[in-house]
Amino acid sequence: MGKSSASLALPQRRAECGHTVFCIHKGVKTFSFCRTKNLLVTGGVDRIVRVWNPYLPGSAPEPHLARSHQEPVVCCRYNPTFRHVVSCCEASVVKVWDFETGRQVSEFIGTHGNAGITCLTFDSSGRRLITGGRDGCLKIWSYNNGHCLHTLQHDENRSEVCDCTYMEVNQNRCVIAVGWDRRINVYFDIPCDFHHFWKPQPHWQDNLNHGHKEDILCVAQCPPFLLATSSYDGEIIVWNVISGHVHCKLNSPSPVDDQDPGEGQDRSVSRLAFLKTRATKLDSAAASLISNGPEGSVNFWKLFSGAGLIANFIPSRGNARVSSIVVTSEDTLTYLADQQGFVHVYDIQKYGLQGPELQAPNTVTSWKAHDSTVTSLELIERDDILLSSSLDCTVSLWSRDGAYIGTFGQNHPWDVFTPASWSHTKVPFEILTAPQSMPSHLVLETDTGTGCPGGWPEQDDVMEKAALCETEQTPNLPSPEGPTVEAEVEEDKSRWSAFCRGRLLPARRKPRWKMPELKWPSIYQALQCHEVTCVSALGEKPDLSIIGSDMFNISFHSQERGAELLGRKELSPWSSLS
């Protein structure tokens, strides 16, 4: 009797053919089974609804990582003359893409030998490509056939070139390069000079006596005469290109105001962008220059009548460093990308016009664009398109409001003028399924950050905060299964919320913010409904009676077994939730 009771204490072992396994890359958050149609529906954090045949094992397709390059992409630019996008990677490979379809046009290999490319730009005609590399050289290429026309080398030490730009000054055209030599190197573009090797012009006297003391990381221009450079120690110098004199010097604020910057603190400024409509007017009160800064900050600088900092804010959650900045031609919007792959859009039309600002500008939108650091952004305003590249080896196109168009190198081409040909809305599939894009949990801290009402971070993760705000603002929707099921769902949600608040958090770590009321998710409104055909006879439930087990119904024939399970349930700490 004891042996038979022990044998009944364990459930019967299922036969190997008596269960079906489904594999989903990022897991399942919810599911439902329809017996009448023999269909299983699953949903998860990747926001993809999948319909399965429950009797046939299968798996969701592994994420197809569309790659533009085999190595991290360091820069990309749009060529309006030929309607092409040019991108370069750390393996010294340059690729040319058709902007309107995403197809590859051509490819240059080994542009700087074994050295990586660090920057690229075009001449004013768009017919020549200029690249800079870690070998200390600039190279000018024929855009049509990939022939190297000129090599520009500034010193014998082959100091790395970090950034370059092509500028016209008083009808003179020149290439300006900066890098580890801590100097501004100017190369005049003379059409009749057919020598292969070019040398820079003599350095400005202010460049030698009052220039940067650390490696120069970035250069930005504001015609007709302003040039800005920034260095590793956080210093920004604005130059008058015509005279070669220093216009003003700016110092990036220390991460901690009451503490001197230490050796371990990164104060480098690697991105600059002029607000050109303000700078050309020599506006004395308005901010005319934007830069990134330490600990994910963005700084707005006044350049005239007493240069200085007038605004500072942090766009990214977790203080992710801003890695790229671009501004619309009318200085109405700025696009900020960070090292977590997010793009943040701010309305700056009136921001910093009348002096110092204490708050951040109004947020327009933000989205997850890449799975790693965004290395460059460019606005193609003629078509309302945003171009981005990243260390995740991709170059992508977006609408100005964040709708995903496609990734260069994907299998299926797009038509940039036909939104129906664009890929998954909002974010690409590889971002949805990438482990680093998993939404993180809310930070349940008792201390509330300055300027963050209700314990929310000032700039929260867009996929979390937007989802919660959407949940709060959306009215209750009728359940498709009727009021009975809706009541059960609400009851289950309230029990789960009580469990999370009462069991997972110690008393001393209870959050200050109020848990939002869980309602019927509004995302279900966006689902497209289609008629489901009846499953064929091949998908019918198999007959497992010959092995004495059922796939969905397991019955225990012993009354003693039922009584024992009931006793265990009453003793279980989970019984309070049922």
| Domain limits, the chain | 17-63+519-548
C-beta of residue 327 within 8 angstroms of C-beta of residue 290? yes
What are 39-69's pLDDT values in tens digits? 889 888 777 888 888 777 666 555 566 899 9
Q: How much of the chain exceeds pLDDT 90, in percent?
A: 49
What are 397-424's pLDDT values in tens digits? 999 999 999 999 998 899 999 998 997 6
Q: How many whole angstroms separate alpha carbon 175 and alpha carbon 446? A: 54
CB-based burial label for 108 (10 Å; 0-12, 13-18, 19+): buried
DSSP 400-433: TTS-EEEETT-SS---TT-GGGS-SSSS-HHHHH
Q: Which of 323, 341, 345, 325 is nearest to 393 (CA)?
A: 341
Q: Is the dihedral of CA 463, 464, 465, 466 positive or negative?
A: positive
**Alpha carbon separation from 188 to 54, 197, 292, 314 (Å, rounded):** 70, 12, 30, 39
Question: pTM of the full predicted structure?
Answer: 0.68
Q: Three-class SS of residue 33?
A: strand
What are 316-327's pLDDT values in tens digits? 878 899 999 999
C-beta of residue 505 within 8 angstroms of C-beta of residue 513? no
C-beta of residue 270 within 8 angstroms of C-beta of residue 299? no
Q: How many whole angstroms separate alpha carbon 194 and alpha carbon 39? A: 72
Least reliable range by pLDDT among 74-88, 249-263, 535-549 = 535-549
CA dihedral in degrees (341, 334, 132, 178; nearest 10)? -120
Q: How many whole angstroms separate alpha carbon 400 and alpha carbon 378? A: 11
Could you tell me the pLDDT band of residue 198, with boundaries at 50, 70 and 90? confident
Per-residue pLDDT at 534 exceeds 60: no
The pLDDT value recorded for residue 463 is: 42
- The pLDDT of 242-263, averaged and rounded, is 75
C-beta of residue 184 within 8 angstroms of C-beta of residue 176? yes
| Phi–psi pair at 134, nearest 5 degrees | -75, -10
| Phi–psi pair at 473, nearest 5 degrees | -90, -15
Per-residue pLDDT at 304 exceeds 50: yes
What are 444-480's pLDDT values in tens digits? 333 433 333 333 334 444 344 443 344 344 344 444 4
CA dihedral in degrees (298, 300, 306, 307; nearest 10)? 50
- The mean pLDDT of the chain is 77
Per-residue pLDDT at 305 exceeds 80: yes
The pLDDT value recorded for residue 475 is: 43
CA dihedral in degrees (425, 429, 431, 436; nearest 10)? 140
